[in-house]
Amino acid sequence: KAGVTQTPRYLIKTRGQQVTLSCSPISGHRSVSWYQQTPGQGLQFLFEYFSETQRNKGNFPGRFSGRQFSNSRSEMNVSTLELGDSALYLCASSSRGQIEKLFFGSGTQLSVL
């Protein structure tokens, strides 16, 4: 069974631009969560989707948004990029409606210049 796939692996953008990151969960997994990891703030929860519905949202500004498609693939979008958005963005999937174990992708390393 293929693992969680995130694309692209690396991304370089400039301030003010927008970016879309993609995540394909493990086949059969219906829940997809997104996390931002930075050296200063650690791992912070962005949002979680289950069956195309956002069930939970973290404390991030509205510039951060996401969606989930009927095949469970998910995208997250960051508009009007700021330098502080530079981070490793991690996607994780889970098979259950009540999540216990997260399966993480390798992440997308975003650098904002």
Partner 1 sequence: SQQGEEDPQALSIQEGENATMNCSYKTSINNLQWYRQNSGRGLVHLILIRSNEREKHSGRLRVTLDTSKKSSSLLITASRAADTASYFCATDQYNFNKFYFGSGTKLNVKP
Among 75, 91, 72, residue whose Cα is nearest residue 22: 75
Which one among 45, 67, 73, 95 touches partner 1, defined by CB under 8 A?
Answer: 45
With CB under 8 A as the rule, give the number of residues binding partner 1: 27
How many CB atoms within 10 Å of residue 103? 14
> Cis ω on the peptide bond leading into residue 39 (within 30° of 0)?
no
Residue 93 · residue 102 · CB < 8 Å: yes
Residue 12 or 18: the one with the smaller Cβ distance to partner 1 is 12
Q: Looking at 53, 62, 70, 100, which residue binds partner 1 (CB under 8 A)?
A: 100
Contact status, residue 29 vs residue 72, Cβ threshold 8 Å: yes
Choose the stretch contacting partner 1; rule: CB under 8 A; options: 14-22, 49-57, 67-75, 76-84: 49-57
Q: Does 101 bind partner 1 (CB under 8 A)?
A: yes
CB atoms within 10 A of CB 51: 11
Q: Which is nearer to partner 1, 1 or 101 (CB)?
A: 101
Least distance (Å) between residue 100 CB and partner 1: 6
For 80: left if phi > 0, alpha if psi spans -120 to 50, otherwise beta; the answer is: left
Q: For binding to partner 1 (CB under 8 A), which residues are involved?
A: 4, 31, 33, 35, 42-45, 48, 50, 55-56, 58, 88, 90, 92, 98-107, 109
